[in-house]
Amino acid sequence: MTPAYAATPGGLLLVLAVMLPAAAALVMLVLGPRHTRLVALIALALGLVVALATGLQLVRSQTALIYVLGNWQPPLGIALRADGLSVMMLAVSAVVMAATGLFARELFGLDLATADGRLATSFWILLMGLWSGLNLVFVSQDLFNLYVALELLTFAAVPLVCLDGRGETMAAALRYLMFALLGSMLYLLGAGLLYGAYGTLDIRLIASASHHGPAMAIALALMIPGLLAKAALFPLHLWLPPAHAGAPAAASAVLSALVIKAPVFLILRLVADIAPPGSAAVAGQVLAVLGAASILFCSVMALRQERLKLMIAYSTVAQIGYLFIVFPLAGVGDGTAPWGTIAWTGGALQLTSHALAKAAMFMAAGIVAEAVGHDRIRDLGGFGRVLPLTATTFGLAGLSLMGIPPSGGFIAKCLLLTAAAVGGHLWLALTILVGGLLAGGYVFRVMDRALATPVEPLLLRKPIPLRLEIIPLVLAVLAVALGFLPLEPFGLLQIGRPDSALAVSP
């Protein structure tokens, strides 16, 4: 019998991507507060190198990277595998993580009394845990191992939400924990049913099974809603706005930009890689309807918020909706290869550009709150005059959210819109257009305040160093720079697809 997986050169990079942050967290625990920041920055630098090397290796070999842990072949053991999409996610995570790390270093450095205190030290350890979990979600091939990855995310993300220790953020964190735990439990239950039916939890081995019984349908019906609760898709989004708005700015940036992408990525894998075509098509339709509802409802909610961070958080739920309308647009479940379509590329670009833009936006909001002492949009008149770079960041990131050229969001939404028009999904095309208009509404509302001339000039509570403002600006510029990519399906996303042992090119 030939083994299901053959390790490829560079496979060890995937192990490093997962273990490096985990090991860093352990080192931080032992070394204590004074060295935490230094260890974090070293780990972030090394992690960036690993992500870069993974990308280079993928492009050079043009096949997915594979590693078999402990040399135990699935189904008994666990394999790691990174195709084009996974490597893209690894890279985006590394970039956003590194930016967040630099941002947090500057932000916590503003107040030397607390720089090595409870909030900062806990933040660094949890951030490393988060990164390890994220990378594992993107590379693991085993459904139970992915459950452990989801739990890494939960246990790192929930305490991040309530680091400031106020009663409201405790409530937000508890609500988040309840949703996240329910999601993990349902996911785990589905995994148990799949093991009972197939005797393995390896994604490739399950997908290659010839016969699917009722276990598959019920398992998907448990796992997908469970993951939706973690991804905060409408109507399961209630936990997200208070949680993401209440967290410290650096934490909000990673939570909104990266953490909720992990369950989305897993849903994508379940629907595109495991589900039999019939179920996949049905699931895709349902997800698209929920995605469209998310875009419309939460954009309106964002428009109505009075707090800047709450507005950005609602915008996250709306922008996540775009990722779910990809399913019918890319033709998931109709027998064709979805990863070659423009909608698939559009979805991947939306993922990337939203990650960059949203991280930039939350950091900018954090700077505003730090400088002014509050984030009530009404009372922010003229903040663009005192914090011009931050206002620019907000505007550039806003371009990407609205989908105005030139920006990554524009390309993404343009590709999705084209796919909707070509495929005859008029209601989805309409949703994309209305969603863009609503996003324009809430971004302009803030920009209007930024450029307004207030009756009495806005006073800065404390000076903001230039370095702090530059970091989100770089992210926002990157989100805009994605807009210069060509409007066609990416070759990168097709590397390693489809996932089957037989399809390995000679």
Partner 1 sequence: MSALALTSASLFGLCGAALVGIGLFGIVSHPDLLRRIIGFNILGAGIFLVFGAVARRGAAMGLGGDPVPQAMVITGIVVAFAATALAVALLRRLASLTGSATLDAATPATPPRSDA
Partner 2 sequence: MSLLFDIALVAGLIALALHVVVTRDGRGAILAFIAFGLLLGIGWARLASVDVALTEAAIGGGLTGMLLLRAHAHLAREIPPEAMSRAVPRSWLAPAIACGLVTLALGAVVLAFPQPAPSLAHQAVASLETTGLGNPVTAVLLAYRAIDTLLEKIVLILALVGVWSLSRDAAWGGASQLRPAVIPEPLVFLARVLPPFGVLIAVYQVWVGADLPGGTFQAGTILAAMALLVMLAGLRPAPQTQSKALRVMLAGGPALFVLVGFLGVAVAQGFLSYPEAIAKPLIVGIEAALTLSIAGTLALLVAGPPDRAPAP
Please give the residue ranges that form the binding site for partner 2 (CB under 8 A): 7, 12, 15, 18-19, 22-23, 25-27, 29-30, 32, 67-72, 75-78, 114, 117-119, 122, 125-126, 129, 132, 136, 144-145, 148-149, 151-152, 155-156, 158-159, 162-163, 165, 189, 193, 196-200, 213-215, 218-219, 221
Least separation in angstroms between residue 61's CB and partner 2 is: 18
Write each residue from 102 to 141 as x if it is in contact with partner 1 (CB under 8 A), else as -, in one continuous string. ----------------------------------------
Shortest distance, position 192 Cβ to partner 1, whole Å: 5
SS (H, E, C) 192-257: HHHHHHHCCCEHHHHHCCCCCCHHHHHHHHHHHHHHHHHHCCCCCCCCHHHHHHHCCHHHHHHHHH
Residue 459: contacted member of partner 2, partner 1, none (CB under 5 to 8 Å, by partner type)? none
Applying the rule CB under 8 A, the residues between 62 and 101 that interact with partner 1 are 76
Residue at token pair 């680091």: 163
Give the DSSP H or E segment for 133.
helix 118-139
Nearer Cβ to partner 1 (43/173): 173
Q: Return the number of the residue (133 or 403) whose C-beta is nearest partner 2.
A: 133
What minimum distance in Å lies between the beta carbon of 50 and partner 2? 14
Q: Decide which of partner 1, partner 2, none touches 23; Cβ closer than 5 to 8 Å per partner kind.
A: partner 2
**Structure token digits, residue 137:** 């979600």
Distance from CA of residue 395 to its chain's centroid?
21
Stretch that binds partner 1, among 148-156, 355-363, 438-446, 493-501 (CB under 8 A): 148-156
What lies within 8 Å, CB to CB, of 187 at 6+ separation is 147, 150, 222, 223, 226, 227
For the chain, the helix, strand and coil percentages under 3-state DSSP, each to the nearest 5: 75, 5, 25
Structure tokens at 160: 């991040």
* Nearest alpha-carbon partner for 191 in 176, 212, 206: 206
151: contact with partner 1 by CB under 8 A? yes
User: Which whole-number Å values give the CA distances from 269 to 83, 185, 273, 423, in the listed order?
Assistant: 12, 18, 5, 23
DSSP code, position 112 = T
**CA nearest 398: which of 446, 430, 366?**
446
- What single-letter amino acid sits at 505? S
Closest distance of CB 246 from partner 1, Å: 12
- Our finding on whether 434 is near partner 1 (CB under 8 A) is no
Beta carbons within 8 Å of 463's beta carbon, 6+ residues apart: none
Contact positions with partner 1 (CB under 8 A) in 179-198: 181-182, 185, 188-189, 192-193, 195-196
By CB under 8 A, tell whether 158 contacts partner 1: yes
Q: How many helices (H) and strands (E) does the chain have?
A: 20, 2
Our finding on whether 171 is near partner 1 (CB under 8 A) is yes
**Closer by beta carbon to partner 2, 176 or else 442:** 176
Nearer to partner 2, 137 or 439 (CB): 137
Task: Decide: 104 and 97 in contact? Cβ < 8 Å.
Answer: no
CB of 153 to partner 1, least distance (A): 12
The radius of gyration of the chain's CA atoms, rounded to the nearest angstrom, is 22
Taking the C-alpha atoms of residue 96 and residue 103, their distance in angstroms, rounded to an integer, is: 10
275 is written with which tokens? 């589900």
In angstroms, rounded to a whole number, what is the distance separating the alpha carbons of residues 333 and 55? 29
Q: Which does 181 bind (CB under 5 to 8 A by kind): partner 2, partner 1, none?
A: partner 1
Quote the CA–CA distance of 239 and 154 in Å, as a whole number.
13
CB under 5 to 8 A by kind: which of partner 2, partner 1, none does 77 bind? partner 2
Q: Is 221 in the site for partner 1 (CB under 8 A)?
A: no
Rounded least distance, CB 376 to partner 1, Å:
17
CB closer to partner 2 out of 201 and 310: 201
Q: Which stretch binds partner 1 (CB under 8 A): 57-65, 109-117, 171-179, 256-264?
A: 171-179
User: From partner 1, partner 2, none, which one binds at residue 188 (CB under 5 to 8 Å depending on kind)?
Assistant: partner 1
For partner 1, the binding residues (CB under 8 A) are 76, 144, 148, 151, 154-155, 158-159, 162, 165-168, 170-171, 173-175, 177-178, 181-182, 185, 188-189, 192-193, 195-196, 199
